[in-house]
Amino acid sequence: MRRKIIAGNWKMNLTVAEGTALVTALRDRCAKVSNMDIVVAPTATAIYPIAQVLAGSMIAVAGQNCHWADKGAYTGEFSPVQLKDAGCKYVIIGHSERRQYFAETNEGVAKKARALFDHQLTPILCVGETLEERESNKTFDVIAEQVKVGLSALSADEVAAIVLAYEPVWAIGTGRTATPEQAEEVHAAIRKQVAEIYGQATADKVRIQYGGSVKASNAAQLLGQPDIDGALVGGASLTADAFMGIILYEESKK
């Protein structure tokens, strides 16, 4: 049984005060949650204070991006070493907004994944097709390439420990969710690909989140699919009630 993992990606939202209030509420309301991993990914400026509030709680902190180098002359960037120092356990890499607006490539994602494991941080590696790619029947080719190259610098044990996130770009922030069947089809294909490259034991362990307009009202159906091991939540992670709605659905199945 893979343990579910629910992560909130705050993107470029919330001040330190707003984020602190949110995680204080989440920390208290999640105190008895035990059957899943919960992660929040604040904006970089809020990571350290948020990690302070969450120290000793069951909620882990993630970065939303990183550079692959440990340090150096890369104005505006931050490294895995710095994210770990600030309190992160996970780092999101390859998010479609980074790929789309900041020219993040599969090769760059592979370097970041390598650097994160070198510093005992867990990548949450995002993949997903655009609407145009889906409509021209390229979904499986695009995702296969993102998975193959993105994981290429990792060992089978590292792939078993990574978190993948399938986020169809057309479902992000649009209110238009993939149907559970559409999502499961891609998740199963990703797991099959991992099995082919890294072996079945690795594929059985790797967790694959779904992301794209996940909210309390559709979480049950999505998370009920055999190959969907959690959710990467954007908009619905910005308030305690919306995020808890997703978490409590999972918890109630204990």
CB closer to ligand PGA, 159 vs 233: 233
The pair of structure tokens assigned to 166 is 């399938």
CB closer to ligand PGA, 63 vs 234: 234
Report strand pairing: 59-63 vs 230-233: unpaired
> How far apart are CB 99 and ligand PGA at their closest, in Å?
11
> How far apart are CB 170 and ligand PGA at their closest, in Å?
10
The CB-nearest residue to ligand PGA is 234
CB closer to ligand PGA, 37 vs 167: 167
Asked about 95 being catalytic, the answer comes back as yes
CA 52, 54, 55, 60: dihedral to nearest 10 degrees?
-120
Q: Are 207 and 158 in contact (CB under 8 A)?
A: no
Residue type, 42: P
Distance of alpha carbon 8 from alpha carbon 232, whole angstroms: 6
Look at the block and give the residue holding tokens 């655009």. 130
Residue among 164, 140, 139 nearest 150 (CA): 164
Q: Are 38 and 6 in contact (CB under 8 A)?
A: yes
CB closer to ligand PGA, 133 vs 153: 133
**Residue 179 Cα distances to 87, 166, 182, angstroms:** 35, 13, 5
> How far apart are CB 147 and ligand PGA at their closest, in Å?
17
> How far apart are CB 98 and ligand PGA at their closest, in Å?
10
Instruction: Name the site residues for ligand PGA (rule: CB under 6 A).
Output: 9, 167, 172-173, 211-214, 232-236
CB closer to ligand PGA, 202 vs 212: 212
Which residue in the list 167, 184, 187, 250 is annotated as catalytic? 167
Q: Are 183 and 210 in contact (CB under 8 A)?
A: yes
Residue among 47, 49, 88, 81 nearest 67 (CA): 81
> How far apart are CB 31 and ligand PGA at their closest, in Å?
25
Which residue in the list 67, 95, 104, 129 is annotated as catalytic? 95
- Residue 29 buriedness (CB in 10 A; 0-12 / 13-18 / 19+): middle
Asked about 167 being catalytic, the answer comes back as yes
Catalytic center residues: 95, 167
